[in-house]
Amino acid sequence: MTAPTVVRVGGDATYDVLVGTDLVAEIPRVLGADVRQVLVVHPPALAAQVRPVRQALDAAGITATLAVVPDGEAAKTAEVAARLWSVLGRAAFTRSDAVVSVGGGATTDLAGFVAATWLRGVRVVHVPTTLLAMVDAAVGGKTAIDTAEGKNLVGAFHPPAGVLCDLSLLRTLPAAEIASGMAEVVKAGFIADPAILDLVERDPAAATAVDGGLRELVERSVRVKARVVTDDLREAGGREVLNYGHTLGHAIEKAEGYTWRHGDAVSVGLVFAAELSAATGRLDSTVVERHRSVLTSLGLPTAYDRARWPQLLDAMRVDKKARGAVLRFVVLDGIGRPALLEGPDEALLTATYDKVSA
């Protein structure tokens, strides 16, 4: 078996992201020697994937309590979080105990939030089971639940004790889910690592094959996020570059009632952000078209409903990235050169949206 790649995330609480296959046996070591019991949070569809996790914990003498939570964003509610707090309380979890998440980004967001808030913070280890969670949600220490007013509006920064990106868990993932995760991979390429774009353009099918080029893409994407997060855990400045494509992307998700995949919405958002960069004289049109060609080659959308623009504009005004009444967009001055655009004229935004509307 090939040894896992270890990517170190620095900052106030240093931890490792392991990328490889068959990593379940690493969970007890990553948790640490003094953990007595663990809450394993997972959606119902992943019961089979949780069994080896429980076996690894049992073999290490760690008591595992399983908590089944709803699929997707339905898990990220105050009610579900309160139910998990109740489970932790009844099982007398202490500060030396821990939470393990097994699931996609919604599961890691919820489990991380519960870990951050129980006794003001206990350890959490993430075992992401989707490509999107491996390269985005599970790495970086952002945790959150949703409210009726929007996604991820209630949360905390809580770095995990470790993240295990076990690529073998992706073998049964539908192609559409791989594509969704690739939107975040492509984002990493445009903001920091153009080699990612070269790999995808050379052969999209080979680059996204679980037993082919996907490992390198995951490693590169995690390294990009690790570098940014190490310098700015709490989004005081530099971390905002990770929001490239996300201002419009989150608005599309909200408009669709979170029925669109995150990566599909971000894909449209990436093209919008590139067009906005070009409209403000920052980016060459050939790079804008490169956005479209790379994303299209992966089966991702690059346009959205023209009639929804007023609704999207309203949603962007209450986005977490806004400051007061000022909209903020991450743009590009070139590949690998992200920058911030504050308060663009509404007429400019409308004209830019026309270029990504269908």
Q: Report the C-alpha gap between 145 and 167 in whole angstroms.
A: 26
Starting at the edge strand that comes first in sequence, how are the strands of the sheet with 15-20 ordered? 5-9, 15-20, 162-166, 123-128, 98-103, 37-42, 63-68
Q: Are residues 111 and 189 in the same domain?
A: no
pLDDT at 235 over 90: no
In-domain check, residue 216? no
Token digits for 48? 């089979």
Confidence at residue 53, expressed as pLDDT on a 0 to 100 scale? 97
In a domain, residue 159? The reply is yes
The reply to whether 184 and 287 lie within a common domain is yes
Structure tokens at 1: 């078996």
Same domain? 163 vs 302: no
Catalytically annotated residue among 76, 151, 215, 239:
239
**Do 249 and 111 share a structural domain?**
no
Residue 90: its pLDDT value, please? 97
CATH number for 350: 1.20.1090.10
Residue 23 sits in the same domain as residue 160 = yes
One domain, residues 252 and 295: yes
Domain end, chosen from 170, 193, 222, is at 170
pLDDT at 289 over 60: yes
Q: Is 227 part of a structural domain of the chain? A: no
Is the pLDDT confidence value at 337 over 60? Answer: yes
Residue 104's region, left for phi above 0, alpha for psi from -120 to 50, else beta, is beta
From 215, 220, 262, 292, the catalytic residue? 262
- State the catalytic residue, choosing from 76, 142, 215, 292: 142
- Which residue has 């078996």 as its token pair? 1
- Average pLDDT of the chain to the nearest whole number: 94
- Expressed as residue numbers, the domain containing 21 is 5-170
Among the options 79, 120, 149, 171, which is catalytic?
120
191 and 60 share a domain? no
Q: The pTM is what?
A: 0.94
Whether residue 203 sits in one domain with residue 143: no
| Active-site option among 26, 177, 184, 253 | 184
Report whether pLDDT(237) > 80.
Answer: no
- Selecting among 201, 235, 282, 320, the annotated active-site residue is 235
Q: Is 142 a catalytic residue?
A: yes
In the residue annotation, 291 being an active-site residue is answered as no
pLDDT at site 258:
86
Same-domain status, 143 and 265: no
Which pLDDT belongs to residue 330? 96
Position 49 in a domain: yes
Which residue among 158, 246, 254, 328 is the active-site one?
246
- Whether residue 325 is predicted with pLDDT greater than 80 in this model: the reply is no
Is 262 noted as a catalytic residue in this protein? yes
Residue 233 lies in a domain: no
Q: Identify the band that residue 358 occupies on the pLDDT scale cut at 50, 70 and 90.
A: confident
- Based on the domain organization, do 116 and 202 belong to the same domain? no
Q: Are residues 250 and 277 in the same domain?
A: yes
pLDDT: is 7 or 321 the higher one?
Answer: 7
Same domain, yes or no: 71 and 161: yes
> What dihedral angle (degrees, nearest 10) is formed by the CA atoms of 280, 285, 291, 297?
160
β-pair partners for 20: 166
Q: What is the mean pLDDT of residues 300-324?
A: 87
Counting the structural domains of the chain, the total is 2
Domain for residue 23, yes or no? Answer: yes
Whether residue 226 lies inside any domain: the answer is: no
238: pLDDT strictly greater than 90: no
Q: Is the pLDDT of residue 269 over 80?
A: yes
* Whole-angstrom distance, CA of residue 117 vs CA of residue 85: 9
158 is catalytic: no
Angle at Cα 353 formed by Cα 241 and Cα 262, nearest 5°? 50
Catalytic residue among 151, 215, 220, 225: 225
Confidence band for 323, pLDDT divided at 50, 70 and 90: low
Token couple for 2: 């090939």
Band (pLDDT 50/70/90 cuts) for residue 321 is low
| CATH code of the domain covering residue 51 | 3.40.50.1970
Active site (annotated) includes residue 184: yes
Structural domain contains residue 220: no
Among this protein's residues, is 42 annotated catalytic?
Answer: no
Q: Please report which confidence band the pLDDT of residue 49 belongs to, taking 50, 70 and 90 as the band edges.
A: very high
129-152 pLDDT, tens digit per residue, is 999 999 998 898 999 999 988 778
Closest CA to 247 of 328, 140, 307: 328
Task: Please state, in angstroms and rounded to a whole number, the distance separating the CA atoms of residues 268 and 249.
Answer: 7
Q: What proportion of the chain, given as a percentage, has pLDDT over 90? A: 87
Beta-strand pair 123-128/98-103: parallel
**Catalytic site residue from 243, 261, 292, 328:** 243
Cα separation, 105 vs 132, whole angstroms: 7
